[in-house]
Homo-oligomer: A and B are copies of this chain.
Amino acid sequence: MRENELLASLPSLFHTDDPTVLVGSGPDDCAHVRTLGGSVLSVSTDAFAEGSHFLSDDRPEDVAWKSLAASVSDLAASGSRPRWAVVSLGMRRGAPDGWAERFARGLAGAARDLDIAIVGGDLVSSHHTTFISVTVVGEPLRNGPVLRSGGKPGDALVVTGSLGGSLRGRHLRPVPRVKEMAALLDFADSQSDRACGPNAAMDISDGLAIDLSRLARESGVGAVILETLLPVSDDARLMAAESGRSAIDHALSDGEDFELLIAMPADAWDAFQDRLAAQPDNGLAPFTRIGSLTGGRELLILDSAGEPRALAPEGYEHSW
């Protein structure tokens, strides 16, 4: 069985009738369970291996930040407040002196900056590959999680921040969009129409093209986005000058943006825009509408002349 087949089989393999499991093993990066006391919890885990997810000469402080930020970002995208983390570190024999200590200090600093309590962990020896696994536990900000599967035709597609070129440095210290999701949910709660929150969301970790294809697939819809609306980062433009690829291409497929991709009712987006415009100094990353979900299954991107082409998502899925 190949890796992608195995991954596809895991949700059914781990399917459970346990009524405490609200959202379990499946397409979402985050599970949601209900405690005996009635609290809902969100849990997300991510693993990182030397040579695959970070390099031997990356600064251990940066590795720590990114490891923690990835799961924090998953929880934020699911509409949860990330609160507590446990961290496993497997240290390769022969790793540079002080690597583990610098990782630990970096992790403590990241936890302070990201407002997470590190409540435990495990430090072990690993023969040849240093590895990290982070599990973050949090609580939904609203009644019920935000999933990938709730998008509806006609929803506005909205992203935070700017996209592409993260390898120029932003990928080392991604800032999970916890405040931004909280602001969106706070806005939704303040409206008399209760249906104006996000219908679906996820974080953009593997690039907008593939991540949008995932959200659309799970929601059973299509999507159309406009090149002219994409918030292309300065880094994407700088990389394009060197790579020979277009800045748009970098914005669509570079990955490691850790921005939010949100599907929400179009009129709610209009109202949310008004709210944001009334608070210009809100300290939030910008929100940008890039297109809409559609009733078909096609994923299209229109260029500045209105010419459509298919978005071609491909990549590797590893969460279950």
Contact = CB atoms under 8 A, between A and B. Distances in A.
Contacts of A48: 124
Contact of A117 (B3, B13, B16, B135): B16
Given A33-B84, A37-B38, A135-B135, A120 B43 contact: yes
A84 B31 contact: yes
A89 to B, nearest CB: 7
Interface stretch (A19-27, A219-227, A272-280): A19-27
A162 B48 CA distance: 38
Contacts of A135: 43, 45, 86, 133, 135
Contacts of A33: 83-84, 117, 119, 137
Contacts of A126: 49, 51-52, 129, 131
A111 interface: yes
Interface in A50-65: 50-53
B121 A319 contact: yes
B123 A318 contact: yes
A308 interface: no
A36 B69 CA distance: 22
Interface string A272-300: 00000000000000000000000000000
Interface string A207-222: 0000000000000000
Nearest to A22: B119
Interface in A70-99: 83-84, 86-92, 98
Contacts of A41: 35, 41, 137
Contact of A129 (B90, B100, B318): B90
Given A52-B125, A88-B45, A131-B129, A120 B319 contact: yes
Contacts of A13: 104-105, 108
A127 B51 contact: yes
A118 interface: yes
A135 B121 CA distance: 9
Nearest to A120: B31
Most buried by B among A14, A33, A86: A86
Contact of A133 (B16, B23, B30, B122): B122
A168 to B, nearest CB: 24
Contacts of A31: 84, 86, 119-120
A44 interface: yes
A6 interface: yes
Closest 8 CB pairs of A and B: A133-B133, A128-B128, A37-B39, A31-B119, A47-B88, A135-B135, A49-B126, A45-B86
A136 to B, nearest CB: 10
